[in-house]
Amino acid sequence: MRVTNKSLTRNFLTNLNRNLQAMQKTQNHLSSFKEISRPSDDPFQVSRIMSLNSSISKNDKYLSNIKHSIGWLDATDDALQGVVGAVQRAQELTMKAANGTYSETELYSIREEIIQLTEEIAQFGNTSYEGRYLFAGYDTINAPFDVDGTNTLVYSSGSSDTGIIYTEISPGVTVGININSERFFNPSNSTVSISDTLHEIYNALGTPTPANLDTRIEELNQHLDGYLSLLSEVGAKVNRMEAAKEKNETDTLNLTELLSSIEDIDIAEKSIEYKSMTAVYEATLSAGAYILQPTLLDYL
């Protein structure tokens, strides 16, 4: 079989182009730092990459929910701590008034402080986080509590909102993060709310001989236990959120490492591979100069 100069040239150019294509592919890897740049490179691995990216994106959203929930719960904890302090102060003042040794002027001073404590509890009840009221149930854009003209803690809208706000922290897992207005208003779920108790104390201190203060003290004890129970609930949820945050971050790290093992290149390996391809390409050009036969043009 006769091998023509044209055949040698065609085969040489075919091999040369193959080397150039391999070099171009390696150059793309080095410039993008990615092993796969288009679906045709490896359809199976591309589907895995897409699935991993989707999982990481979802985890980022869950992490955002968790961080927001932790901030919400921390703000709730601070507000409840303030309410506990106010109830304890009201209890202390009521016990002083109940001993029967205070003058009318002193009782009036205690009465005025009870008014301030009522307003303080209303203020804590209207605590907001990122523009949303913590204890308002679903109606988070409107303050849930107010103090009316009789110095009584009341619902701003006239009734409680029992809505529970849930947040999703992982696939299929939701957690209620808020204390609604009804539970804040009556934490011990008794027949008498914190508003009723404070108002009765206020009324009793308007007389020279306050009556039934022992009953009010017992009611304050119940309310105090109720608010402490709410604090324990919030603390437990914060712990759960912190654990969920740690797990989320660990899962995201594992997914990112797996994605990197599929998608990212080994720079040192690719650099050596490219150097080798460059040497092969140059050797091919050099060999071609010897393989291709001279033509008549070389002698003109």
Confidence of residue 103 (pLDDT cuts 50, 70, 90): confident
At 149-201, the pLDDT tens digits run 999 999 998 899 999 999 999 999 999 999 999 999 999 998 999 999 999 99
At 212-221, the pLDDT tens digits run 999 999 999 9
pLDDT at 16 over 80: no
Confidence of residue 14 (pLDDT cuts 50, 70, 90): confident
- Spatial distance between the Cα atoms of 181 and 126, rounded to a whole number of angstroms: 10
- Return all residues near 227 (Cβ < 8 A) that are at least 6 apart: 80, 83, 84, 87, 187
- Spatial distance between the Cα atoms of 83 and 121, rounded to a whole number of angstroms: 6
- Spatial distance between the Cα atoms of 119 and 154, rounded to a whole number of angstroms: 11
What mean pLDDT, rounded, does the chain reach?
A: 86
At 107-159, the pLDDT tens digits run 999 999 999 999 999 999 999 999 999 999 999 999 999 999 999 999 998 89
Tally of residues, the chain: 300
- Return all residues near 144 (Cβ < 8 A) that are at least 6 apart: 125, 126, 133, 135, 136, 137, 155, 156, 157, 161, 181, 184
Confidence of residue 280 (pLDDT cuts 50, 70, 90): low
More confident residue, 226 or 274: 226
| Degrees, nearest 5: CA angle 82-175-131 | 50
Q: Worst-scoring range by mean pLDDT, 42-46, 63-67, 79-83? A: 42-46
For position 26, what pLDDT does the model report?
63
The answer to whether 30 touches 274, Cβ cutoff 8 Å, is: yes
For position 6, what pLDDT does the model report?
67
Stretch 60-80: mean pLDDT: 97
pLDDT at 39 over 80: no
pLDDT at 11 over 90: no
For position 209, what pLDDT does the model report?
86
Single pTM value for the model: 0.79
- Spatial distance between the Cα atoms of 101 and 91, rounded to a whole number of angstroms: 17
* pLDDT more than 70, % of the chain: 76
Stretch 93-105: mean pLDDT: 89
* pLDDT more than 90, % of the chain: 61
At 75-96, the pLDDT tens digits run 999 999 999 999 999 999 999 9
Stretch 2-7: mean pLDDT: 62
pLDDT at 60 over 90: yes
More confident residue, 276 or 84: 84
Stretch 257-275: mean pLDDT: 70
Full set of structural domains in the chain with CATH: 52-257 (1.20.1330.10)
Alpha-carbon distances, residue 294 vs 13, 140, 297 (angstroms): 16, 88, 8
Q: Worst-scoring range by mean pLDDT, 48-57, 161-170, 222-231? A: 48-57
